Amino acid sequence: DPKTDRILYMNGFMKHDYGVEDPEGKVCWQVLQRGLTERCAFCPVDELLSCGDEVPLVEWDEESPMTGRTYRNYDSLVTWVDGSRVHLQQSVDITASRKLTREARIDELTEFLNRRAGKLALSETLARAKMEKVCVSVALYDINVLKEVNDTYGHSEGDRMITLICQAVRRALSLEDFAFRLSGDEFVVVFYGLPKQEGTQRMAEVQEQLRKTRKEKNIPYALSFCYGVVEVLGK
């Protein structure tokens, strides 16, 4: 009910997912959410009601705090059995498909974007920068002595080396930055809105952090990379 937020009907699949038996008559955000004292801020009811006689469909994704799963919701207004207009939400569990999509884009070891997804993201970022007329700094770095580490200490240690370096790089990224794995030991870092000088400084800071990490963890090989930075102007 869009006026009272009370549940009129819930199908068996949703009852099972949310672990409830008799939700009808209860306030939806008290059943489907956690710790709320009022209607969800993201609820599309007001948007639907504002459309008058139109029959809009609002599509949105939700990560449920109650089930830990992700749903794609399709919300609309429909006529109920008593002739009133009610809020109908049809939900599809997309947890598995989203996981597969993420796995198809993410390099498993580093959790950076993989080559294909990274090149696409770079292309989209440069197009955005051109439109917004901002600069982008792109760094290419190549991990030093990875082959020697693999040959001397084994590939598991080589993987550890890659992971430590990529973790340090990730800490240097802002929300609009990203990195991707170009090949086995080659990586690309994209700094949005940063000129070359600042992008170079970020990479230098990563190198310094890695020197500290090597000392703290008593790592017997150089934990470092060589790199270059180029600036692309969004003009």
Element (H, E) at 62: strand 58-63
Quick: pLDDT tens for 139-189: 999 999 999 999 999 999 999 999 999 999 999 999 899 999 999 899 999
Helix or strand or coil: residue 85? strand
Average pLDDT of the residues in 188-194 = 96
Note the pLDDT of residue 77: 92
Beta bridge partners of 180: 113, 188
Q: Is the pLDDT of residue 55 over 80?
A: no
Q: How sure is the predictor about 102, in pLDDT bands with cuts at 50, 70 and 90?
A: low
Note the pLDDT of residue 196: 95
Quick: pLDDT tens for 25-53: 999 999 999 888 999 988 999 888 888 66
Report pTM: 0.61
The structure tokens 């059943």 sit at 31
Helix or strand or coil: residue 230? strand
